[in-house]
Amino acid sequence: MEAGNTFKYGQHGHLWVVVSNPTASPARVLIVNMTTDRGIDRSCILNVGDHPFVEHPTCMRYDMARIETNQDLERHVASDTIQLHQPVSADILERIRLGAATTDHIPLKCKQLLIDQGLIEP
């Protein structure tokens, strides 16, 4: 996996984004999903045109952020447990990371991973 890759678990469900740098920390890869914006967390709002998956105002669910291993993610891709989709652009990835820096909803260990990789400021 690479930073900015997107995928779904199974055929349905939310689109997940690889937010951290898997090359720098393959044992700790931060993923965050997108969902319809219902005012849960407005730290990063995506709009139509930001990504082909986005069909209406969408937010990043930082409260659902998880850390996986790159090996597990690659294994899921190989077994078709997850389906890859078009990556987010570098600009959108930066917006997602900035949202992670400002939200109060992301688990501390997830935010710390981005800080440790130098992707966001403490």
What are the Cα distances from residue 56, in Å, to 9, 45, 108?
Answer: 21, 10, 29
Mean pLDDT is lowest, of 8-17, 27-36, 86-95, for 8-17
For the sheet containing 6-9, what is the strand order?
45-46, 58-68, 29-36, 16-18, 6-9, 82-85
Q: What was the pLDDT predicted at 38?
A: 87
58-68 vs 45-46, strand pairing mode: antiparallel
Tens-place pLDDT, residues 13-43: 899 999 999 999 999 999 999 999 888 899 9
Determine, yes or no, domain membership for 121.
no
pLDDT of 45 > 80? The answer is yes
Mean pLDDT, the chain, whole residue set:
95
Q: Which DSSP symbol is given to 78? A: H
Determine, yes or no, domain membership for 73.
yes
For 72, the domain range is 6-116
pLDDT of 46 > 80? The answer is yes
Query: What domain count does the chain have?
Result: 1
